[in-house]
Structure 1
Amino acid sequence: MRLNARAIEKALPLLAIENNCIISKMADITVGFRLLLPEIFTQSADDYRSLHSAMCKAIKMLPAGTVLHKQDWFIEEKYRTHQHQANANTEDTSFLTMAFERHFVERPFLNHYCYLYISKLPKTRQKQKSNRHSLTRRRLVPRDQVDPKELQGFYDAIGQFESILNDGGIGVQRLKDEDLVSEKGDKGIIPNYFRLQPDGTKKITLEDWDIDGRVRVGDKEVICFTLSDVDSMPPAVNVMGKYGPLSSDSTQFAVGNVLPVGLMLPCNHIYNQYITIEDGPAALREFEQQTRHLHSLSLYSNENAINRDWTQRYIQEAIQQQRMVCRAHYNLMVWTQKPEQVDYIRAKASTAVSQLDCLPKHNTEDAARLLWAGIPGNAGDLPYDDTFYTFVEQAVCMFNLESSYRSSLSPFGIRLCDRFGKPVWVDLSDEPMDRGWTTNRNKFIIGPSGSGKSFFTNHMVRQYYEQGTHILLVDVGHSYRGLCDMINQKTHGKDGVYLTYEEDRPITFNPFYTEDGQFTIEKKESIKTLLLTLWKKETEAYTRTEEVALSDAVEQYLKEIRKNPSSASFNGFYEYCDAEEGFRKYLKEKKYERDYFDVQKFLLTMQPFYRGGEYDYLLNSDLKIDLLNKQFVVFELDNIKDHPILYPVVTLIIMETFVSKMRRLQGVRKMILIEEAWKAIAKEGMATYIQYLFKTVRKYFGEAVIVTQEIDDIIGNQIVKDAVINNSDCKILLDQSKYQNRFDEVRQLLGLSEKQKQLVLSVNKDLDSRRKYKEVFIALGHYSKVYATEVSLEEYAAYTTEQREQVEVRQRAKQAGGDIQVAITDFADARRFTAPV
C-alpha cells in the first residue's frame, strides 16, 4: 500500500503482540476471542432471548472506556474432500464415497468466522474525533504508559465476560499470540485481515491498499455500507425476526434479526459491530445540559422540542431501568475480485441492509477509515462522530448471533449437507451420548412415501457398514437389494446376505448350522423356540414337561452333530427323533411316559418341514451361511409378511441372529433396522422382541432403528409405542406437512419442543431448485437440526426404489457380466450427460 509515499508497515497502528494481547501504538490493549455461535435455523425465540440476555450481561461487566468490536466474516469457499473416518475400511469406501466426494468437490458455499475484540483505551482516546485519526497521523506514539495495576480490573472483567458467554450458550476461545500472528508474521488473523482472507491456510504476500477515491485491497474492490446514526436505524429493534420461507400457517420460524446481512448475503463480506462503553453518569449529565439548551430553543423550532423530548425519554429510561449507556456503530463491507460484479454486490448489500428496516448508506468518504478501524486491535480508531448513543440492550439486537453448520469432530458419522448445500460430517450415535444429549443410540425414522426415507436410510446404513458396523435389516419392498449387491460384489460374497422368498428361489435356513460348531445357550434357546412355534399353534399351550423333553431332544441331537457335522439340518433332527436308536431310545432309557411327550404326534406335526413335505426347503438349507459373522444381512419379508407359517419362522431367525450378534460380537458396533415396522410388529411375539431390543441393545454397543411411513404405525401399537418412543433418543422425521394442522398432538406424543415442531414443519419448504435433494429433521435429545440428503448419481443408482430404475441397473449389470459397479457407473453417466443444463 502507498499512503502519501509511505509503506503500510510504517502506518500500521499495532505495536506488538504480547501475552495473548494486541498492543497498539496508541497504548490500546486488546484481548481477542473466537466465538462459536449457535448454528443457523436451530434456535427458538426463547433461545434468541437467552443469547441476547447473556451477551448484554457479559457486556455490562466491562468498564467504561472499553470498546467491544465483534467482527463476522462470511467468506465464499469451495468444498474440499476430507477423510473423516478413522476406522473405515478404505476398500469399501473407494466407490460410492468417492462418488459422493466427486459430486461435491469445488462446490461453493459461504463459511462463517466470528471474532470478538475487547479494547481498553487511554482516556485521551475515548472520544477520538475524525480529524485526529491514526490513519492520517505521521507518527504514532502512545501517550501514556500502561500501569499493570490499572489493568487488573480490566482483565478481571474479561474473565467474567468469557464465563458469562460460555454459560449462555456461546462458545468462547481466547486467541493466543500464534492465532493473531504467526512467528514469521505471514499468517494469522491480523495479516489475513490485510488481504481480506480469514483462514490463513495459504502463504500470501501482503497486498497493497488503494484508498485514493475508492477502496481496494489487492485486486478486491471493497464497498462499505454504514449504520452510524439513529436516522438510519429502525424505530424499534428486536433480537430476532421471522423467516417467511420456513414459516407455516401454525408456526413462525424465528431467525436472528440481522440474518439478511449474515449467511443470507451470498458474497464475501464482513459485518462489523462496535459498542463503546460510556461513563454513564457523565454522559447523562451532558444530556441533561443538552436538554436544558434544547428547551430554551424549543420556542424557535419544533424540531428542538422534539429532540428535547427524545433526550428526556433517554435519560428517564437510563435511570428508571438501570440501562448501560453506550455508543454503537455497525458497518457492512462487501468485496469482489471481478469488476463486472461490483454493481451486483452493491445492489445485493443495499437490499440486505434494507431488509433490516434500516436506511442503507453507501459510505464512500469514510470507507477507508472504517476498513482501517476494522484491523483487529484497532477499534480505538473508530471515529467518535461515526457512532450514536443507545443502550446495550438495543445495541446487541443488531449483533449476528448465528453461524453456519459445523462438522462433528467425531471419527464416526455420516455425510449429510446443511440447508445451503455444504457437506457436513454428522455423528448420530457416539458424540450425542458423550455430550449427554442422549442416553442411547436407538432411532426411529418416519417419512411418507416419496419423502426420501429410503434414500436416507440407505445412505445411513451404507456409511455405518463402511465403518465396521454389523447391520441386520428387516425390509418390505426391496429397498436394499442394490446396496447388498454392491457389498457382495466388493467382498466377493463374504459380507452381504440377501434373504427373500421367491417362487423359484424360496427363503431357506439351517438353524442347526454354525460356522465354528459352537452352540451357545442363546443358540439352543433359539432352536427350541423355533421348534415350539412350529409344533404348537398360538392358541395352543404346551406343558412344562413337553418343553423339557424338547430341550432334551435338541441337546441330544447337538451331541450327534458334534460327532457328524455334515448331518446338521432339520431333516437330520427329524430322523434322529424318529430313529429307534435315536431319541426314542433316549426316551425309553429315561422312562418318559407317552402321556407326557408323544414323539409320534410331534413328528406328525413336523412332517411338512421334513424331506418331501410342503415346506421341506425352509429349514434344510445346504448353503453354509453363518449369519453371525455376516456384516450386512437383509431379510426381505414382502412376500411372506402375511404367511401363517413362513413369517413366524423368519421372525424367530431374525431374533436369534441379532441376539447372537449382540452377545457374541464383543466391541463391535451393531445395528438392527426394521423397515415398515407396523407389518413386522403386528404380532405380539415380535412386538415383545422389539420392546426387549430397544431397552437392552445399548448395553451391547448396538442400536435399534424403526423405519415407517406413518406416525400412527408406531403409536397405534400399544405394546411397542412406549418402548420405541421412550427409548429412542434420536428422532428422524421427513416431510410431515400432512400433519401441520394437527401437529400439536404429534408433538406431544413424540416429546418434541416448540422449536423442534417449527423445524419439522419447515422441512422441504425452501428447497433450492438447482439441486436435487430432500430434507430431513434429526433430533438428538434437545439438540436438533434439519439436514439435506443429497447424493451423487452413483449413490442414487444404488439406493433407488423406483422399479423401472432398478430393472435398468440390473440389465446394465447383466450386460457388464454381472458387474454392478460398472452398471451403476453407466447408469449415472447416462443421466449426467443427458441432464438439462
Structure 2
Amino acid sequence: MGDITVAYQAILPEIFTLSDRDYEAFHQAWVKAIKTLPLNSILHKQDWFTQSSHQADFSKDNQSFLNRSSERFFHERPFLNHSCYLFLTLKPKNRKPSSSLFSTLLRSHIIPEELNLRQALPDFLDACGQFERILSDSGFVSLSRLKEDWLYSNQTQAGILEKYCNLTSDDRPIWISDINFKPNLQIGNKSCRIFSINETEDLPLLCGSRINYDKYSTDTTKFSVGFASSLGQLLPCNHIYNQYLFIGDTQQTLKELESKRLRLQSLANYSRENCIARDATNDFLNEAIGQQRIPVKAHFNILAWTEDPNQLSEIKKQVGSAFSQMEASVKEETVGAPQLFWAGIPGNCADFPMNDSFDTFVEQASCFLNLETGYQNSISPFGIRLGDRQTGRPIHVDLSDEPVKKGICTNRNKFILGPSGSGKSFFTNHLIRSYYEQGTHVVLVDVGHSYKGLCDMVKGYYFTYDEKNPIRFNPFFIAEEDQLDTEKKESIKTLLLALWKKDNETFRRSEYVALSNALKGYYEKLDSDKSLFPSFNSFYEYLQSDFQEALTSDQVKEKDFDIGNFLYVLRPYYKGGEFDYLLNASENLDLLKERFIVFELDNIKDHPIL
C-alpha cells in the first residue's frame, strides 16, 4: 500500500527509578514529540514482555567458592525480559482507511494510486528526526534506528518480522509456525488471546503520567509507577503491549464531531444516553478549540500467549486485574483478533481497523504509553551483584563510579539503614567481598566481629584487643613507598592534640605551631641519626631534650606552649606508662600492601582513652 515506516528500538528508564516530577517531565516529552509528527502518520509503540530465566556462567575456572555458589543459586531464576520498539508510519495521501470489513487482505491491488516518495520521504524523515531528538534530549529514553539487519532475518539471526509472526524473542533462527485464527488465535504451539481498549466507555475516569503503587506506598508516602505499568513490567506473563496513536486532520476531525453533536442534539429528547453523549461531544469540542488540544485516534491492546492451554484462564485473570488497577474495562477480542494481529506486524499499523479506535487528545493518549523497563545490568566493569526486587534475578550494579559519572551523586559515601536483623552486616560482607575480588583495598573499623569469617577467608589482617595482645599502632613510622607529606603531618598533629586536649577544650594557634615545629625537628633528627627508630617513645625523648632546649632558646613563654603540661599528659603513652604499647608498634608497620584489614573495637568501645 506504499506506507513508509521508520523503526526504532527504545531503551526506557528502569522501573521504580523515577520520581513524580520525572514521570510528568517524561510524559510532556512524549506529548511534544508526538505533536511534531505530520498529518496521516501513526505512532505504533510495541513493548515485548517474554518470560526468560537467568543463565549462570560456570565456565570461569578461577571463580571463588562464594561466586560459584551464587551462580548455582540463581541459575534458571525466572524473570520478564523486555524489548521496546517504536514504529513511525506515514500513510499515502489517498489511502483508504482500514476497517474490520475492508482489509488489505481482501483487496484486489496492493499498489497505491499515487505515491510520490521524492517529496514525502524527506519531509517524513525530518519529522522523525525531530521526534527522536525531543525524546533523546529528555534524558529518559534512548532511541536507536533499526537497520535491515534487525528487521529481516538471515541465516544466523531472526529479524523482528519473523519474531512477531512466531511470537518469540529468541535472536536465533527459528522454526516457522502455522498461524490459525479459528476457533481462536493459535501460532504454532502457542495459544493466544488479545485484550483491548477500543471504546471510550472502557477508559478510566481519570488518567495521568503516574499512579500510586500500593505495594510500596504507605499512608504518608506515595510510591509512583507509570500509569500503564500494570500492563507492562508488572504483568507476569508472555505478552505484547501494542499502543497506537493515529494523527489525522484536526479540522476534519472537529468537523465530523460537530456533525455528530448536531445529530445527537436532535435525538437528545428521545433518550438520556443521547443527551449525555451530546454533552460529552460538546465538552470535547470546547476543550479542543479553547485549549488548542490536538485530537487523535487511539487504541491499546495486549496480545498474551502461553504454551500451556490450561494457563489461559489464569492469564485472563491477570490481564483483567492489570486493567482494573487503572480502573479501565477490558474486552477480549474474538471476531476482530485476526485484524488486530495483522495490524500489529511491524510496519503494518496503517492496516489497523479504525472502527476499533476511539477519539481522544494527545495528552490523555500518552498516559497509556508504557514508560518503563525492567532492571538492567550495568556495563561498568566494576560493581556488585544485587537482586531485582521484583523477581530476585541477579543484576550487576555499579554503586560507586557510575552514579558519580551520571551526576546522581558527587561522592561515593554510602549509608545503610535498617532495623535489627534486616541484613545490614550481611549486605556489607557481600559488598566488601565483591570489591575485594575486583582489586580494591579494604580497611574496616567494626564493632561486633561481623567480618571475622570474611577476613580469615581472604587471609587478611584482623586486629582485635585483648589483654595479652592489645592493638598497637605506630603513626610515626614511614614506609619506603610512603613519604612525609602534609596529610601525614596533619594526621599526627590531630592525634597528638586529641590525646592532649579534651573534646570540649580548644587549642591555641601557638600550640599548633609548636607541634608543627616539634614534628619538623623530630624528622630532621631521624634523617641525621639512622640509629633512632621512629615511634612515640623516641618522639617523647626528643621533646624532653632537643625540643625543650629549642623552646628555651627561642624564649617561648609557658602561656604560649606549656611543654611541661604536654609531657605530663602524654606520659602514659611513653615506655613504662599504662598505654605504652599503643603508639610504639614495631611489627605490622607496612600495611599499605595489605588489601584487607579489619580493626575490631568491640572490647574497647566503652574505653574513653583507647
Compute the TM-score of the two structures, normalised by the length of structure 2: 0.87
For the 8 Å contact 1:571–1:620, the answer to whether it is kept is yes
Supply the AA of the counterpart residue of 1:618.
L
Q: CA deviation at 1:509?
A: 2.8
Q: Distance in 1 between matches of 2:264 and 2:536?
A: 103
Is 2:485 aligned against 1:516? no
Q: Distance in 1 between matches of 2:281 and 2:481?
A: 90
For the 8 Å contact 2:445–2:599, the answer to whether it is kept is yes
Q: Distance in 2 between matches of 1:160 and 1:641?
A: 63
For the 8 Å contact 2:342–2:348, the answer to whether it is kept is yes
Is 2:130 aligned against 1:160? yes
Q: CA deviation at 1:376?
A: 0.6
The percent of aligned pairs where both chains have the same amino acid is 45
Is 2:440 aligned against 1:469? yes
1:773-792 aligned within 5 A = none
SS at match of 1:161: helix
For the 8 Å contact 1:232–1:358, the answer to whether it is kept is yes
SS at match of 2:10: strand
Q: Distance in 1 between matches of 2:306 and 2:461?
A: 55
When residues 518 and 68 of structure 1 are mapped into structure 2, their CA distance, relative to the original with a 3 A threshold, is closer
Is 2:34 aligned against 1:63? no
Q: CA deviation at 1:544?
A: 5.2
Paired residues in the alignment total: 598
Is 2:4 aligned against 1:34? no
For the 8 Å contact 1:69–1:275, the answer to whether it is kept is yes
Alignment correspondent of 2:453: 482
Is 2:80 aligned against 1:110? yes
Q: CA deviation at 1:601?
A: 9.3
Task: Say what the alpha-carbon RMSD is for the aligned residues.
Answer: 3.4
Q: Distance in 2 between matches of 1:246 and 1:462?
A: 30
Q: Distance in 1 between matches of 2:116 and 2:192?
A: 36
SS at match of 2:29: helix
Q: CA deviation at 1:616?
A: 3.8
Q: Distance in 1 between matches of 2:389 and 2:193?
A: 28
Is 2:256 aligned against 1:286? yes
When residues 129 and 474 of structure 1 are mapped into structure 2, their CA distance, relative to the original with a 3 A threshold, is same
SS at match of 1:114: strand
1:387-786 aligned within 5 A = 387-420=357-390, 421-488=392-459, 496-511=460-475, 513-516=477-480, 519-521=483-485, 525=489, 529=493, 532=496, 536-538=500-502, 542=511, 548-549=517-518, 551-557=520-526, 559-560=528-529, 562=530, 608-609=572-573, 613-646=577-610
Is 2:356 aligned against 1:381? no
When residues 298 and 461 of structure 1 are mapped into structure 2, their CA distance, relative to the original with a 3 A threshold, is same
Supply the AA of the counterpart residue of 2:431.
M
Supply the AA of the counterpart residue of 1:461.
I
Q: Distance in 2 between matches of 1:235 and 1:410?
A: 44
SS at match of 1:443: coil
When residues 593 and 371 of structure 1 are mapped into structure 2, their CA distance, relative to the original with a 3 A threshold, is same
Q: 2:118 aligns with which of 113, 130, 148?
A: 148
Is 2:182 aligned against 1:212? yes
When residues 163 and 602 of structure 1 are mapped into structure 2, their CA distance, relative to the original with a 3 A threshold, is closer
SS at match of 2:602: coil
Alignment correspondent of 1:679: none
Supply the AA of the counterpart residue of 1:487.
V
SS at match of 2:458: helix
Alignment correspondent of 1:4: none
Supply the AA of the counterpart residue of 2:295.
V
When residues 294 and 247 of structure 1 are mapped into structure 2, their CA distance, relative to the original with a 3 A threshold, is same
For the 8 Å contact 2:478–2:484, the answer to whether it is kept is no
Q: Distance in 2 between matches of 1:268 and 1:398?
A: 19
- Report Cα offsets for 1:797-832 as digits up to 9, x if no partner: xxxxxxxxxxxxxxxxxxxxxxxxxxxxxxxxxxxx
Is 2:141 aligned against 1:170? yes
SS at match of 2:265: helix
For the 8 Å contact 2:156–2:173, the answer to whether it is kept is no
- Report Cα offsets for 1:639-676 as digits up to 9, x if no partner: 22343433xxxxxxxxxxxxxxxxxxxxxxxxxxxxxx
Q: CA deviation at 1:206?
A: 2.3
When residues 285 and 103 of structure 1 are mapped into structure 2, their CA distance, relative to the original with a 3 A threshold, is same
Is 2:9 aligned against 1:50? no
Is 2:180 aligned against 1:180? no
Q: CA deviation at 1:498?
A: 1.7
SS at match of 1:132: coil
When residues 588 and 163 of structure 1 are mapped into structure 2, their CA distance, relative to the original with a 3 A threshold, is closer
Q: 1:78 aligns with which of 53, 56, 77?
A: 53
- Report Cα offsets for 1:570-610 as digits up to 9, x if no partner: 56667x759xxxx96x6899896699799999887766445
Q: Distance in 1 between matches of 2:430 and 2:251?
A: 62
Q: CA deviation at 1:220?
A: 1.1
For the 8 Å contact 1:27–1:143, the answer to whether it is kept is no
Q: Distance in 1 between matches of 2:488 and 2:43?
A: 71
SS at match of 2:89: strand
Is 2:319 aligned against 1:355? no
Q: Distance in 1 between matches of 2:19 and 2:414?
A: 24
Supply the AA of the counterpart residue of 2:454.
L
- Report Cα offsets for 1:721-758 as digits up to 9, x if no partner: xxxxxxxxxxxxxxxxxxxxxxxxxxxxxxxxxxxxxx
Single out whichever of 496-505 and 263-272 deviates more from structure 2: 496-505
Q: Distance in 2 between matches of 1:621 and 1:32?
A: 69
Single out whichever of 269-278 and 622-631 deviates more from structure 2: 622-631
Q: Distance in 2 between matches of 1:412 and 1:122?
A: 51
For the 8 Å contact 1:69–1:274, the answer to whether it is kept is yes
Structure 2 unaligned regions, length at least 5: none
When residues 588 and 367 of structure 1 are mapped into structure 2, their CA distance, relative to the original with a 3 A threshold, is closer
Q: CA deviation at 1:524?
A: 6.7
For the 8 Å contact 2:548–2:563, the answer to whether it is kept is no
For the 8 Å contact 2:100–2:336, the answer to whether it is kept is no
Supply the AA of the counterpart residue of 2:192.
V
Q: Distance in 2 between matches of 1:445 and 1:324?
A: 48
When residues 115 and 414 of structure 1 are mapped into structure 2, their CA distance, relative to the original with a 3 A threshold, is same
Alignment correspondent of 1:821: none
SS at match of 1:629: coil
Q: Distance in 2 between matches of 1:255 and 1:228?
A: 24
When residues 122 and 536 of structure 1 are mapped into structure 2, their CA distance, relative to the original with a 3 A threshold, is closer
Q: Distance in 2 between matches of 1:157 and 1:517?
A: 62
Q: Distance in 1 between matches of 2:44 and 2:476?
A: 73
Whichever structure has more helix as a proportion of its residues is 1
When residues 513 and 125 of structure 1 are mapped into structure 2, their CA distance, relative to the original with a 3 A threshold, is same
Q: Distance in 1 between matches of 2:276 and 2:601?
A: 79
SS at match of 1:311: helix
- Report Cα offsets for 1:327-376 as digits up to 9, x if no partner: 11111111111222222212222222233222221112222221121111
Structure 1 unaligned regions, length at least 5: 1-25, 84-88, 489-495, 647-837
- Report Cα offsets for 1:523-551 as digits up to 9, x if no partner: 87379638845984546875856763564
- Report Cα offsets for 1:761-815 as digits up to 9, x if no partner: xxxxxxxxxxxxxxxxxxxxxxxxxxxxxxxxxxxxxxxxxxxxxxxxxxxxxxx
SS at match of 1:472: strand
Q: Distance in 1 between matches of 2:498 and 2:216?
A: 54
Is 2:286 aligned against 1:328? no
- Report Cα offsets for 1:357-403 as digits up to 9, x if no partner: 22221112222221121111010121121112222222222221222
For the 8 Å contact 1:71–1:114, the answer to whether it is kept is yes
For the 8 Å contact 1:577–1:599, the answer to whether it is kept is no
Alignment correspondent of 2:173: 203
1:212-231 aligned within 5 A = 212-231=182-201
Q: 1:192 aligns with which of 146, 163, 172?
A: 163
SS at match of 1:390: strand
When residues 557 and 180 of structure 1 are mapped into structure 2, their CA distance, relative to the original with a 3 A threshold, is same
Q: Distance in 2 between matches of 1:543 and 1:253?
A: 52
Q: Distance in 1 between matches of 2:386 and 2:548?
A: 65
